[in-house]
Structure 1
């Protein structure tokens, strides 16, 4: 198996799109296209977006997303977003109603995955947040693919 085949298809699509756009210097554009690629190419999603860390104010602020309007500011350690950011670990929640402190943006959301975005030198940038109306929507394979997706996106947002 070649290295290209080992890369998840969603990451290949992202890399091809961003490289094709020559948009390396346009961070917000790349976040927006990344959210759209996920929203259109993964099944059963109702919200995909980014929360970006504002270290001056010590808060996660809403970045590019697709879905219903969402909470604009989330404190580190608050909800699934803040917990994943603070722990620097991907969090998969099979049933958001069972997650103590879950922040409700869309009452139709039933499961969630949040992947931290961190540079190789440890600078915390934010998180990728994805919600689904289905319970138990996100598998271990989804987690691995989305972690690879974030790694593929990183060079285009951390310049």
Structure 2
């Protein structure tokens, strides 16, 4: 069973602990919705100064809303559109310091100011994205990107 941990040390140490927690939390579970739900809840508890965290999953050539924590969100996003769709089309993490400066940004929550989107790539195919929004400009750092990409790698083992 999951128990909240004191996240101490460097940011890299904190993300390493988070990864271990995720791995233990999902051990033995094969249900995708359950695993994504627990992953979004874990991130919501770990990350400060965010207003949305969750997943969009590829379905019939577009992203469809999956498990998340936060306000209601856009249900469908076309590949290549917005930060999430761009992460899919480019197969790379998008770290956006100011979403209002991002061409074609899709504003699901007007309070969001910065965003990070990590594509979930399994066997060379993007199966979805991890999307995190913050009401602060420049909320996400290179340390966050590295930590969240590692988090996604661990998550993919359980999907």
The normalised TM-score by structure 1 is 0.89
Q: What is the aligned counterpart of 2:75 among 72, 77, 82?
A: 72
- Secondary structure of 1:8 counterpart: helix
* Residue 7 of structure 1, CA deviation: 6.7
Q: Superposition pairs for residues 12-23 of structure 1, below 5 Å?
A: 12-19=20-27, 22-23=28-29
- Secondary structure of 1:16 counterpart: helix
What does residue 148 of structure 1 align with? 150
| Structure 1: gaps of 5 or more residues | none
Q: What is the aligned counterpart of 2:57 among 52, 61, 74?
A: 52
What does residue 33 of structure 1 align with? 38
- Secondary structure of 1:84 counterpart: helix
- Secondary structure of 2:111 counterpart: coil
* Residue 123 of structure 1, CA deviation: 2.0
- Secondary structure of 1:146 counterpart: helix
| Structure 2: gaps of 5 or more residues | 1-12
Rounded to whole Å, the distance in 2 between the matches of 1:43 and 1:122 is 31
Rounded to whole Å, the distance in 2 between the matches of 1:115 and 1:18 is 19
Q: What is the aligned counterpart of 1:9 among 8, 14, 17?
A: 17
Q: How many residues align?
A: 147
Displacement over 4 Å in runs of 4+: none
